[in-house]
């Protein structure tokens, strides 16, 4: 599981919208009243745009793990789609807070809210990148990319996979996160006590910090303090020269696409 580098988007850029609280940008009730703050964020974050966010070495490391047959799953709280751009397959990816590959109507009464708006993601993308909200072609209500807002449930895929993945885990790597947002933040606590856990982060967080404070965790917890990119490079260097070279090549390929 991971949450890579935070978006460069800053909440203080939304001062002009007079939000009642910064997180209102991801509040479904507020979106119904005023979709413009989220539209602006989505306009910046929508994956695949020229000049948009690009995968880091840490994203490419996850792709490398899959290529080496070492990756069971990656759970990410990011919504920027950089894991996919780095080459991680959809089968290995659980985007816990949603993605931009599909869109849905936000009206509970609309059938498109339950089944999605088939074939309309291109129109949704065009509207958002153009700075406009998108409306459901079925009922005319507001629609949005399938990003999980406050007040919405996590994708079914999370519930379908997480129990088996946690029970089958023989190494848990956690990277670049504050481990504050449940339920994903609780995942490190769900693996077996004998499962090694590696945290690559700028600070101890969540259950890792608690175990360190209590003197628990034993030899199964490892903390690599620092930047995610530097951490994965160090890991690849320890494994072997070919891993580090492949990591760099995967990153370069992702940057060119």
Return the axis-axis angle of helices 241-256 and 57-67, rounded to nearest 10°. 120
| Residue 225, SS3 per DSSP | strand
In 3D space, the residue among 253, 242, 220 whose CA is nearest the CA of residue 68 turns out to be 242
Q: Is 97 a catalytic residue?
A: yes
Cα separation of 221 and 208, whole Å?
A: 8
Q: Is 159 left (phi over 0), alpha (psi -120 to 50) or beta?
A: alpha
Cα separation of 54 and 138, whole Å?
A: 34
Q: Which residues contact 120 (CB under 8 A, 6 or more apart)?
A: 103, 137, 143
The pair of structure tokens assigned to 145 is 């990319």
Could you tell me which residues are beta bridge partners of residue 223?
Answer: 199
> Do 198 and 173 touch, CB atoms closer than 8 A?
yes
CB under 8 Å, gap of 24 or more: what pairs does 134-138 form?
Answer: 134/103, 136/105, 136/107, 136/110, 136/112, 137/112, 138/105, 138/110, 138/111, 138/112
Catalytic residue among 59, 97, 135, 230: 97
Return the axis-axis angle of helices 228-239 and 241-256, rounded to nearest 10°. 140
Q: Which residues are catalytic?
A: 97
């Amino acid at each position: 599981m991971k949450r890579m580098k935070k978006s460069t988007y800053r909440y203080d850029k939304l001062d002009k919208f007079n939000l009642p609280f910064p997180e209102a940008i991801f509040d479904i009730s507020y979106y119904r009243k005023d979709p413009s703050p989220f539209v602006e964020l989505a306009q910046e974050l929508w994956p695949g745009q020229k000049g948009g966010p690009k995968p880091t070495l840490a994203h490419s490391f996850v792709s490398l793990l899959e290529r080496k047959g070492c990756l069971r799953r990656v759970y990410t709280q990011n919504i920027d789609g950089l894991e996919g751009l780095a080459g991680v397959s959809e089968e290995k990816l659980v985007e816990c807070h949603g993605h931009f590959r599909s869109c849905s109507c936000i009206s509970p009464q609309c059938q498109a809210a339950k089944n999605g708006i088939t074939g309309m993601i291109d129109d949704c993308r065009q509207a958002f990148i153009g700075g406009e909200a998108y409306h459901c072609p079925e009922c005319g209500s507001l629609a949005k990319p399938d990003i999980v807002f406050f007040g919405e449930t996590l994708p079914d895929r999370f519930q379908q996979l997480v129990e088996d993945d946690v029970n089958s885990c023989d190494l848990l790597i956690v990277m670049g996160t504050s481990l504050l947002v449940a339920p994903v933040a609780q995942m490190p606590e769900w693996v077996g006590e004998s499962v090694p856990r590696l945290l690559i982060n700028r600070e101890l967080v969540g259950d890792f910090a608690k175990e360190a404070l209590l003197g628990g965790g034993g030899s199964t917890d490892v903390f690599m303090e620092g930047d995610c990119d530097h951490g994965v490079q160090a890991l690849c260097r320890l494994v072997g020269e070919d891993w580090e070279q492949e990591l760099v090549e995967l990153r370069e390929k992702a940057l060119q696409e």
